[in-house]
Amino acid sequence: MICRVEKKEIEEIKPTNILTQTPFWARVKHEQGYFPNGYHLTISKDILNPNATPNLKIQDDLLVLIKRVSASQCFAYVPYGPKLEPKFEQQGVFLEALSEVLRPFFPKNCVFIRYDLMWENQWAKEDNFFDSSGNWVGPPPHHTQEFRVNFNTTQWNLKKSPRDILPKNTFFLDLTKKEHELLHNMRYNTRYNIRQSERKGIRIKEYGIEKLDEWYDLYTETAIRNNMILHDKQYFSTILTNQDSDKNGVNVSLLMAEDEDEFLASMFLVLSRKRGTYLFGASSSSKRHLMASYGLQWEAIKKSKKYGCSEYDMFGCAPNLNRTHPLHGVHVYKKGFGGKIYHRMGCWDYPYMKKDYELIKALEVNN
């Protein structure tokens, strides 16, 4: 069972690899209209694993964001949390118990809590969800997922969200490997393109807020070219200006690849404890033969390794190599760096006010 939940100051949330469960992320999202809340959890380990020693306790912190959906309604959102991961058969039991124990801490008009689960997708381990080429085809329909996740719960109240928010699929690189091993694990074309960018004189430099305009020009060009959602400039300013100043916090680097004073590619590299994250990237349509984005990515990987990170998160890709997927090109590019693909569970909802929830869900489906 969940033993105790206590309020915790946002800035007191302990450091973690999970970027979206940090005080930094709370500050960023607060400026974007969310209301962050911190909690300290103390739970019995047997809710995560029935075979655990009875009465053994485990503790962790949790960041929850409150978002208004109307003048009289709001919902709670847990970005890539909780970090504690139960065995597959205990996931629903844990989420149900956590949802109920958190409920008194939320506003009375909180319609539901949404968990953006970073846990490995339950169906990513089952052979019959892979095609003949070894590509994961994705999980079963929502009603099938809900039946399994709700098994052994009391309320049978967990719902697969109509849409996911944070990336469900990503590639992770193991940065405990030597640089030559990382290069060896890459596709031949990726290694060649990295060396090509070096031979052609691409320079990688780190900048701050002073290059925000140049970043935004590249980002806008990329978003239009790839039909992506376009964030405003303030969105990125918030990320750059809310980072921490010490090693235990979150550090953000704006890396830019240039040739003869022309910026060709750029990215936000975020370092959180032992993980480097490729949060946003952009590139110019000009001089693509110089392979600036490859040199830029390799520099970010090396920088993360030098910082002391043990893993590198490519932060978003298609679930497989299906050419019709809108992220197919992104998938091929990121796969080339030799990481291991990881499939998350995505967003799951626990409604508190079921009728209101169904109305909000319907609006999400239709928008």
- Residue 280: exposure state from Cβ atoms within 10 A (0-12, 13-18, ≥19): buried
pLDDT at 245 over 90: no
Indicate the pLDDT class of residue 52, thresholds 50, 70 and 90: confident
Q: What is the pLDDT of residues 183-207, one digit of tens each?
A: 999 999 999 999 999 999 999 999 9
**3-state DSSP helix/strand/coil percent for the chain, to nearest 5?**
35, 30, 35
Neighbours of 319 (CB within 10 A): 19
The amino acid that residue 23 corresponds to is P
User: For the chain, what is the mean pLDDT?
Assistant: 94
CATH 3.40.630.30-classified regions of the chain:
2-167+345-366, 176-309
Residue whose entry in the numeric block shows the structure tokens 């001089």: 287
pLDDT at 363 over 90: no
Res 55 pLDDT > 90: no
pLDDT at 261: 83
H helical segments located in 62-135: 91-102
Condensed to tens digits (0 to 9), the pLDDT of residues 121-135 reads 999 999 999 998 888
For the chain, the C-alpha Rg in angstroms (whole number) is: 21
Fold of the domain spanning 176-309? Aminopeptidase (3.40.630)
Region 321-341: what's the mean pLDDT? 93
The answer on pLDDT for 1 being more than 70 is no
User: Residue 260's pLDDT is what?
Assistant: 86
Q: Which CATH homologous superfamily contains domain 2-167+345-366?
A: Gcn5-related N-acetyltransferase (GNAT) (3.40.630.30)
Each residue's pLDDT tens digit, 211-225 = 999 999 999 999 998
pLDDT at site 220: 96
Is the whole-model pTM more than 0.85? yes
Task: Enter the tokens of residue 351.
Answer: 């409604």
Name the 3-class secondary structure at 283. Answer: strand
Over 90: is that where the pLDDT of 3 sits? Answer: no
